[in-house]
């Protein structure tokens, strides 16, 4: 599999949904496989909140492969012997694309709020530069699914196939509440300095409040049942049961993941991306979900996971039902995967859903 | 209804489950109604994590009544014209009973870890002083339910009727994980000063990390469905949609409740009480749940709430099933209330469960 990583600069303004303007911007992206001659074999993968453009394969020295490695590669469900796969780091993120800490004079809290539509609009400019007028398919899970839905509504001619997993047409209160924990944790941490920290300040020791917010995130990605299976009531062997700070294994897991994440992700980027997710609403600017979805021309494959509480099956079912109601039922395939992994299922139980992805392609 | 509030001092050691000893201790408690001549009409109510002995009625000038006011009072489900109701502030708490910040030289982080059994043992000493050898019934929800279960196992002759709501025989990973957010928030907050803060330090401005932990608690008490109903995607009218710190109503609710709670509850007490909940396990010291429950002689009324994820119906069902398995099926009545309020239901949907409480009494 041929992997290519690059950064593309745009010296042109990006008009944001908020009315603000990004005078120029950069996008980091990665591609897998080769674009065919008529540029008709591109599959766009959209990443989730903390993901990056590094979907598959390993960089030299890497312990872990890209975040969706089991899905993307030679002879894998998204088969790079046939398709040219591209993933772009979203605007606002911290892996090379323009965000609040980019550049020599980062905008920090003056960086404009960006939306899912803005993320997609910026990527469309990149696809244009690469000569991809029409993608074979677009696919995304969680926040990636929001971008995929956005493409289907705002760029209905861009692709014939849209695949959305573990996502929604509008973020609901439960997910917003979890995001608030991270937001509150970050802004209340003294070391955040109201956004005036230095790059690298948290490399050795992550922002505590951010780590706690991320721990909350880990709860929201799982389900009570998957936690039972994963941790049960196992207690850390070296901790005392009657020590106030003795820990169950689930607590050690949260600490480990929370603090290590806070060292490698930028807190300002996190604030901006969860904001984009929170305010995502495919019905905005339309009278109703029906009016919004009426633009859709692509075949939609919607995949939910039964115990996902962040983006519940019933939210996807509303998309399906609405498409049926407006006479577009032939365009939609909906499947609810029986999994008790919660939201995390799209990164865990590949064998339960990869069939539907392959079929859609 | 006659209300009486008092504090009782015990100048005798309390031998704790951990092996440590409290040389002396105090218990704050409140009673409602009158104890009859043969002292046979006492109903013990056990409070939950953040509750107090103030179950019902209003203190002068109070805006809000006690935490279970719809349940306890004259001609209410727990009828104080017939019964003498007593509730004791648990050991470790901050409403008058001995806890980590009690006394002139508070023990702070040197206060011993207490368990649900310790809480119950201390209360038994109080009931003894009041001449209550046998209670008409004991009842508790959430952590109160743990105390009720503990009574049924460790003091099987103390009462003929035990009522447990929204509780468990052993706290599971999902609940422990939420408690970790609060623990982490408190200990990482600089103003916590490793427990060396002064009483009153947080009266004006609560500990941020504690407030965030409490916000997480509020998520865990609700369910996605009840949040949809309560908040939906309503946005705070005075906040801008494209302001980074603009808020949805659910976020305002969390902030309001989190920060106001952090002003009135002691963070050290919170650490000790969630620790007691986390390590609660009715099977400890026994080979199995069956061996533990074999001690039970009281009629058990178990009430779960369908969408409660902290203490799930299946945890109560395990108690029921185990009692049936060991030939004590005639002692147990189990009901799962159809509510989507989540754990909070026991403080909200009284009309759905008060019938079962009345019947059990």
Query: What is the full DSSP assignment across B30-95?
Result: EEES---TTS--EEEEE--TT--S--SS--TT-SS--TTTTTEETTSSEETTT-EEEEEPPTT-SS
Q: In this structure, what token pair is assigned to residue A353?
A: 């859903």
ipTM score: 0.95
* CATH for A175-276 (3.40.50.1950, 1.10.1740.110, 1.10.3720.10, 3.20.20.70): 1.10.1740.110
- Residue A62: the pLDDT is 85
Please give the radius of gyration of chain A, using alpha carbons only, rounded to the nearest integer: 20
Mean pLDDT of all residues in B189-204: 95
Do the domains spanning A3-172+280-360 and A175-276 agree at the CATH topology level? no
Given B189, B340, B343, B344, which residue is catalytic? Answer: B343
Whether A218 is catalytic: no
Q: Which residues contact B330 (CB under 8 A, 6 or more apart)?
A: none
Give dist(CA A211, CA A208) in Å, integer: 5
Cβ-defined contact of A233 to B170 (cutoff 8 Å) = yes
**Catalytic: B343?**
yes
Q: Is the dihedral of CA B280, B285, B288, B294 positive or negative?
A: negative
Q: Kindly list the residues from chain A whose CB atom is less than 8 angstroms away from the CB atom of residue B215.
A: 177, 180-181, 184
Q: How many CB atoms lie within 10 A of CB B133?
A: 13
Q: What digits encode the pLDDT tens for the residues B49-77?
A: 999 999 999 988 888 999 999 999 999 99
Chain A CA closest to residue B232:
A173
pLDDT at position B60: 83
What is the predicted pLDDT for the residue at A208? 96
Q: Give the per-residue pLDDT at B62.
A: 85
Rg value, chain B, Cα = 20
Cα nearest neighbour of A184 on chain B: B212
Q: Which residues of chain B have a CB within 8 Å of the CB of A258?
A: 184
Question: Do residues A307 and A229 touch, judged by C-beta distance below 8 A?
Answer: no
CATH no., domain A3-172+280-360: 3.40.50.1820
Q: What is the pLDDT of residue B353?
A: 97
Q: How far apart are CA B303 and CA A250, in angstroms?
A: 27
Amino acid A60: pLDDT: 83
pTM of the model: 0.95
The residue whose two tokens read 């995304």 is: A140
pLDDT score at A195: 98
Q: Name the band, by pLDDT with cuts 50, 70 and 90, for residue B204.
A: very high
Q: Answer yes or no: is pLDDT of B11 > 90.
A: yes
Give residue B254's pLDDT band: very low, low, confident or very high (50, 70, 90).
very high
CATH architecture entry for B3-173+280-360: 3-Layer(aba) Sandwich (3.40)
Q: Name the residue facing A271 among B212, B219, B244 (closest C-beta).
A: B244
Angle at B303 between CA B300 and CA B308, to 5 degrees: 145
| B124-176 pLDDT tens trace | 999 999 999 999 999 999 999 999 999 999 999 999 999 999 999 999 999 99
Residue numbers of chain A with a pLDDT score lower than 70: none
Q: Which residue of A has its CA nearest to B270?
A: A244
User: What integer pLDDT is reported at residue B59 of this predicted model?
Assistant: 87
Contacts of A183 in chain B (CB under 8 A): 245, 251
Size of interface A-B (CB pairs under 8 A): 168
Q: Where in chain A are the domains?
A: 3-172+280-360, 175-276
Spatial distance between the Cα atoms of B266 and B98, rounded to a whole number of angstroms: 12
Q: Which of B93, B97, B122, B142 is catalytic?
A: B142
Give the pLDDT of residue B295: 98
- pLDDT tens digits, residue range B85-116? 999 999 999 999 999 999 999 999 999 999 99
Query: Is the Cβ pair B209, A211 closer than 8 Å?
Result: no
Alpha helices, H only, B94-243: 116-129, 143-154, 173-188, 208-221, 224-230
In DSSP notation, B238-280 reads: TS-TTSTT--BHHHHHHHHHHHHHHHHS-HHHHHHHHHHHHT-
At CA B265, angle to CA B263 and CA B267, rounded to 5? 100
Give the span between the Cα atoms of B355 and B337, in whole angstroms: 11
């Amino acid at each position: 599999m041929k992997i290519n990583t690059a950064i593309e600069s745009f010296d042109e303004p990006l008009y944001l949904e908020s009315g603000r303007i990004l005078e120029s911007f950069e996008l980091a992206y990665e591609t897998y496989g080769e674009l065919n001659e008529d540029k008709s074999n591109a599959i766009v993968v959209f990443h989730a909140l903390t993901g990056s453009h590094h979907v598959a394969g390993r960089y030299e020295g890497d312990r872990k492969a890209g975040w969706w490695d089991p899905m993307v590669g030679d002879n894998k469900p998204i088969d790079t012997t046939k398709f040219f796969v591209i993933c772009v780091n979203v605007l606002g993120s911290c892996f090379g694309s323009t965000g609040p800490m980019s550049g020599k004079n980062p905008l920090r809290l003056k960086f404009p709020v960006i939306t899912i539509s803005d993320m997609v609009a910026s990527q469309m400019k990149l696809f244009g530069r690469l000569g991809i007028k029409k993608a074979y398919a677009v696919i995304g899970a969680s926040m990636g699914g929001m971008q995929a839905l956005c493409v289907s509504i705002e760029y209905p001619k861009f692709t014939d196939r849209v695949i959305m997993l573990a996502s929604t047409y509008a973020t609901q209160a439960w997910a917003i509440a979890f995001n608030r924990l991270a937001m509150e944790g970050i802004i209340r941490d003294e070391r955040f300095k109201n956004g005036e920290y230095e790059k690298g300040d948290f490399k050795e020791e992550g922002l505590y409040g951010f780590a706690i917010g991320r721990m909350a995130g880990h709860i929201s990605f799982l389900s009570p049942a998957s936690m039972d299976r994963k941790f049960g009531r196992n207690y850390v062997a070296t901790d005392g049961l009657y020590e106030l700070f003795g820990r169950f294994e689930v607590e050690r897991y949260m600490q480990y993941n929370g603090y290590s994440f806070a060292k490698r992700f930028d807190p300002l980027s996190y604030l901006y991306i969860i904001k984009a997710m929170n305010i995502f609403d495919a019905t905005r600017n339309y009278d109703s979900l029906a009016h919004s979805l009426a633009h859709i021309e692509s075949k939609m494959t919607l995949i939910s996971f039964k115990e996902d509480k962040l983006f519940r099956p019933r939210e996807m079912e509303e998309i399906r039902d609405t498409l049926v109601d407006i006479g577009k039922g032939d365009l939609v395939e909906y499947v609810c995967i029986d999994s008790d992994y919660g939201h995390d299922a799209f990164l865990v139980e590949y064998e339960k859903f990869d069939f539907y992805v392959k079929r859609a392609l």
